[in-house]
């Protein structure tokens, strides 16, 4: 019989969004029974810990929330959910101060003791707070300490495999978990469930998130029937390390390096960003730089490694080693010298701007289901500014934690009843690969979907390739239904790959479907057959639901210009 646990609040994930939500919910409502579930060890996994660059926040009197808000809308190419974006920038100031004074995070200082802020691309003021180039480690170390201090229980090395629903299919009752240590399932039921696993688009050949990421949260949300939005908007970071044969190929050299003045060169030694964005060059937004690099790579001007080069040596070795020690060390481990030479890089899949459609409290379209961090959509629109990612996780994690404390305080702790047989049906389906004597390898299928996405649903897309991609996803899904896994159930990497693949298939379908439906280029979504941004056509959000056949059904809804008009967005920072 499958074991079960019950809680007032179940939190799936333990990055910055999940941890902030847990801390704020408990501090506001100390008698809450909270359970956190993480695939990794406490504070040791996920994307928040990997943040190098920093946290965008208005602190200086010469800066303003208005500027940060408009920068965010401009970067998102006007399809952001404006109320969410406004909450992000206005609450960031209080959030960063509370992270220092309440949780013990400590960021780099100016000589006068004020918090140092550095430049990032796409911003009208230098507002990125950081701890060297290891900001995420500082944030997650301190937040994890606070989770432990408060005695919040954490199930480590345990992954959620599907959300549980009541008989109506409209209320989430918890999640089915898989304990990777023991190889057994666990039913977790709760008065409210928060999904904050982080997106992590590892379904591409080059990807920045760690290897344990597999778009789990996005897949679970979709399968449960939550409304998803703008899934075509997958951000490719311009500067991922090329490391042949390594599982960390695509690991980031962060935005601050270009903000500090690093140059990009093609294989012919040309500083090509002067051709694509002459006014700002390497400090253009991520979508522009990634697309420009990809064009250079596919037009016969790639480096021998198949990418382009980044150079920071002209800034001086001492400057590079002092300001970017983490990146310099990472490069050194793979035989590159960031301080004195050129380093081969490629665009790398980094962040999903899309996700579950949520309100200002993180409430999704399903009852008792909340979403925060990269699993939620709407804040960033078509392109996220560097430094707005960890800002989103911390700020909106804080907001959702406060909202959950109120929600659960108002008599909403009662557990709904999970649909009869859902647990057994899901567990039987997920264990079927162990029962087969033969079948496709999940490792082979995972490699196929990564290559397919990179080549056909990647940095630059077109209609014919997207149509082919959807057919290939169907073929991979068919083979995945016949996968074979060998060995035992505990700590089985082959089985981990098999479960990862199921979410990769669902998310790849959403991305390709939405990308095919958006016949323009906007932000991170680039169509070579529709190369122009069309504000007379493209001002919509792509809302998706899972259809009865398991495939996405798309609905385009007009962008709501609730705070700034289209004209104000278009004219911002012109000239």
Q: Is position 60 annotated as part of the catalytic site?
A: no
Q: Which one-letter DSSP state was computed for residue 183?
A: T
CA 253/CA 351 separation, integer angstroms: 15
Provide the 8-state DSSP code for 281.
G
CA distance 127 to 148: 31
Compute the half-sphere exposure of residue 575: CA atoms within 13 Å on the CB side of its CA.
2
3-state SS class at 349? strand
CA distance linking residue 291 with residue 297, whole number of Å: 10
Residues whose CB is less than 8 angstroms from the CB of residue 276 and which lie 6 or more positions away in sequence, other chains included? 284, 288, 289, 292
β-pair type (117-118, 184-195) = unpaired
Strand bridging mode 3-12 / 34-37: parallel
237 part of the active site: yes
Catalytic residue among 159, 223, 237, 461: 237
- The pairing of strands 55-56 and 128-129 is antiparallel
Of 65, 396, 473, nearest to 198 by C-alpha is 396
Q: Which residue among 49, 258, 518, 546 is the active-site one?
A: 258
Contacts of 183 (CB under 8 A, 6+ apart): 488, 489, 490, 491, 492
In the chain, the largest separation of any two C-alpha atoms, in whole Å, equals 68
Segment holding 186, helix H or strand E? strand 184-195
Nearest of 351, 347, 352, 349 to residue 231 by alpha carbon: 352
Give the residue among 255, 208, 49 at the shortest CA–CA distance from 135.
Answer: 49
If you search the block for the tokens 């700034």, which residue do you land on? 564
Query: Residues with catalytic annotation?
Result: 237, 258
């Amino acid at each position: 019989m499958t074991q079960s646990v019950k809680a007032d609040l179940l939190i799936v994930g333990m990055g910055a969004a999940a941890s902030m939500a847990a801390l704020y919910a408990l501090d506001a409502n100390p008698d809450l029974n909270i359970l956190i579930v993480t695939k990794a060890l406490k504070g040791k996994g996920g994307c928040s810990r990997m943040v190098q660059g920093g946290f965008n926040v208005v602190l200086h009197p010469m800066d303003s929330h208005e500027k940060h808000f408009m920068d965010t809308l401009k970067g998102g190419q006007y399809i952001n959910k404006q109320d969410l974006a406004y909450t992000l920038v206005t609450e960031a100031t209080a959030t960063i101060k509370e992270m220092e004074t309440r949780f013990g995070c400590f960021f780099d200082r100016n000589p006068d003791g004020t918090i140092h802020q550095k430049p990032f691309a796409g911003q009208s003021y230098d507002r990125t707070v950081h701890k060297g180039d290891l900001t995420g480690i500082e944030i997650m170390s301190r937040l994890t300490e606070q989770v432990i201090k408060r005695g919040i229980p954490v199930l480590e090395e345990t992954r959620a495999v599907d959300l549980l629903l009541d008989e109506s299919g409209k209320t989430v009752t918890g999640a089915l978990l898989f304990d990777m240590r023991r190889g057994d399932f666990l039913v977790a039921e709760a008065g409210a469930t928060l999904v904050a696993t982080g997106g992590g688009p590892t379904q591409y050949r080059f990807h920045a998130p760690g290897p344990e990421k597999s778009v789990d949260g996005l897949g679970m949300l979709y399968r449960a029937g939550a409304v998803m939005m703008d899934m075509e908007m997958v951000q490719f970071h311009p500067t991922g390390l090329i490391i042949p044969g390594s599982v960390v190929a695509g690991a980031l050299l962060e935005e601050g390096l270009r903000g500090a003045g690093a140059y990009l060169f093609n294989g012919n030694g040309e500083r090509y960003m002067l051709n694509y964005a002459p006014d700002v060059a390497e400090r253009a937004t991520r979508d522009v730089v990634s697309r420009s690099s990809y064009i250079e790579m596919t037009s016969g001007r790639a480096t021998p490694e198949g990418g382009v080069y980044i150079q920071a040596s002209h800034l001086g070795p001492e400057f590079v080693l002092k300001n970017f020690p983490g990146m310099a060390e990472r490069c050194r481990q793979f035989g590159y010298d960031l301080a004195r030479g050129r380093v081969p890089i490629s665009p790398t899949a980094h962040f999903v701007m899309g996700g579950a459609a949520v309100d200002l409290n993180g409430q999704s379209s399903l009852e008792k289901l909340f979403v925060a961090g990269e699993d939620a959509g709407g804040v960033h629109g078509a392109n996220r500014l560097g430094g707005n990612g960890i800002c989103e996780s911390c700020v909106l994690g804080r907001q959702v934690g406060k909202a959950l404390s109120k929600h659960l305080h108002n008599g909403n702790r009662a557990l709904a009843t999970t649909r009869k047989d859902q647990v057994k049906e899901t567990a039987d389906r997920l264990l079927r690969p162990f029962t087969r004597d033969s079948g496709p390898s999940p490792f082979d299928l995972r490699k196929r979907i990564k290559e397919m996405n990179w080549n056909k649903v990647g940095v630059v897309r077109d209609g014919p390739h997207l149509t082919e991609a959807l057919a290939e996803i169907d073929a991979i899904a068919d083979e995945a239904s016949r996968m074979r896994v060998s060995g035992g159930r505990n700590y089985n990497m082959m089985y981990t790959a098999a479960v990862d693949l199921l979410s990769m298939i669902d998310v790849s379908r959403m991305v390709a479907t939405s990308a095919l439906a958006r016949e323009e280029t906007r932000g991170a979504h680039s169509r070579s057959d529709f190369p122009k941004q069309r504000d007379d056509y493209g001002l919509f959000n792509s809302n998706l639901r899972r259809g009865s056949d398991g495939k996405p059904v798309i609905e385009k809804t007009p962008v709501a210009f609730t705070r700034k008009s289209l004209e104000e967005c278009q004219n911002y920072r012109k000239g």
